[in-house]
């Protein structure tokens, strides 16, 4: 007599599709993490897919299925950095809003945050690649007036300070762009050239205080009508 077959056990846990999706996300994240380390350490041209594959323990075919070119992989690294920056910015905005103070004080705090985040080593390295090797990446340069979540939040802070009567001007987007030029671009370019001018917080504080004062008041003076 044949033995009665045992009842099939019900599968416990997440469906296979969800497990596969989770594993796929983990693999993609691991590839991006390793690629970010290699890109920032040795640049775009010197980094090859085989290096990424060896360092992260994934096959070259696995990487190419997710990122069809090295430029696409670099774009994923940049997008990861943009997401991290946006999350950090939102956290700083929330903290500034909870600490009290007027809209101009909040804008000043965020401007100082922008200076710090753009002087982080990983940010400097990725910006250096984006600027120096843009033709290899095959990407169009981003328009400084283009709307994106990061600049939109800064523009909103500028508009709030205008609404409070603490800033003048008409176009808050133009003022936000001018603020970034005043506060961030000089030190960022200096760091991309390998200089250590703004490494210490004291040096950053000195620069920021002067740049912020110039942003608020300008460098012009009242001149006689004949000299205008």
Three-state SS across 168-202? CCCCHHHHHHHHHHHHHHHHHHHHHCCCCCCCCHH
**Contact between residue 137 and residue 44 where contact means Cβ atoms under 8 Å apart:** yes
Q: What is the pLDDT of residue 20?
A: 57
Q: What is the DSSP letter of 138?
A: T
What contacts 47, CB < 8 A, 6 or more positions away?
A: 35, 38, 39, 70
Position 136 confidence tier, pLDDT thresholds 50, 70, 90 = low
**152/180 Cα distance (integer angstroms):** 13
**182/96 Cα distance (integer angstroms):** 21
Backbone angles phi, psi at 170, to 5 degrees: -105, -55
Q: What is the pLDDT of residue 223?
A: 55
Is the model's pLDDT at 175 over the cut of 80? yes
Q: What is the pTM of this model?
A: 0.82
Position 224 confidence tier, pLDDT thresholds 50, 70, 90 = low
**29/192 Cα distance (integer angstroms):** 27
Q: Given 1.10.357, 3.30.70, 3.40.225, 3.30.450, which CATH number is that of 84-219?
A: 1.10.357
Q: What is the pLDDT of residue 100?
A: 79
pLDDT tens, position by position, 16-27:
444 355 578 899
Place of tokens 């696995």: 62
What contacts 41, CB < 8 A, 6 or more positions away?
A: 125
* CATH 1.10.357 in the chain, residue ranges: 84-219
Looking at CATH, the fold of the domain delimited by 21-68 is given as: Arc Repressor Mutant, subunit A (1.10.10)
Mean per-residue pLDDT, 111-140: 84
* CATH 1.10.10.60 in the chain, residue ranges: 21-68
Is the model's pLDDT at 1 over the cut of 90? no
The fraction of the chain above a pLDDT of 90, given in percent, is 69
Q: What is the pLDDT of residue 143?
A: 56
pLDDT tens, position by position, 36-83:
999 999 999 899 999 999 999 889 999 999 999 999 999 999 999 999
CB burial of residue 63 (10 Å; 0-12, 13-18, 19+): buried
Q: What is the pLDDT of residue 151?
A: 93
Q: What is the DSSP letter of 119?
A: T
**96/108 Cα distance (integer angstroms):** 10
Q: Check residue 92 and give left, alpha or beta (phi > 0: left; psi -120 to 50: alpha).
A: alpha
Mean pLDDT comparison of 1-5, 10-14, 197-201, highest-scoring range? 197-201
Backbone angles phi, psi at 46, to 5 degrees: -80, -15
Q: What is the pLDDT of residue 146?
A: 63
Is the model's pLDDT at 139 over the cut of 80? no
Q: What is the DSSP letter of 142?
A: P
Is the model's pLDDT at 2 over the cut of 80? no
Is the model's pLDDT at 6 over the cut of 70? no
Comparing 209 with 133, the larger pLDDT belongs to 209
Mean per-residue pLDDT, 165-188: 93
What integer best gives the mean pLDDT of the chain? 85
**64/144 Cα distance (integer angstroms):** 32
């Amino acid at each position: 007599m044949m033995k009665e077959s045992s009842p099939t056990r019900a599968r416990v846990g997440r469906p296979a599709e969800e497990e596969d999706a989770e594993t796929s996300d983990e693999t993609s994240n691991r590839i991006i993490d390793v690629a970010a380390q290699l890109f920032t350490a040795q640049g775009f041209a010197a980094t090859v897919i085989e290096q990424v594959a060896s360092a992260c323990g994934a096959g070259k075919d696995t990487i190419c299925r997710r990122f069809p070119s090295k430029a696409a992989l670099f774009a994923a690294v940049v997008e990861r950095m943009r997401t991290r920056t946006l999350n950090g910015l939102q956290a700083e905005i929330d903290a500034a809003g909870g600490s009290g103070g007027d809209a101009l004080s909040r804008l000043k705090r965020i401007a100082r945050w922008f200076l710090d985040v753009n002087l982080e080593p990983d940010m400097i390295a990725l910006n250096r690649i984006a600027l120096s090797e843009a033709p290899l990446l095959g990407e169009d340069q981003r328009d400084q007036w283009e709307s994106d979540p990061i600049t939109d939040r800064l523009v909103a802070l500028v508009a709030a300070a205008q609404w409070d009567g603490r800033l003048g001007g008409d176009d808050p987007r133009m003022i936000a762009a001018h603020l970034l030029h005043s506060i961030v671009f000089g030190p960022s370019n200096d760091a991309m050239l390998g200089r250590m001018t703004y490494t210490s917080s004291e040096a950053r504080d000195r620069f920021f205080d002067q740049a912020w004062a110039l942003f608020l008041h300008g460098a012009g003076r009242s001149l006689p009508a004949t000299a205008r």
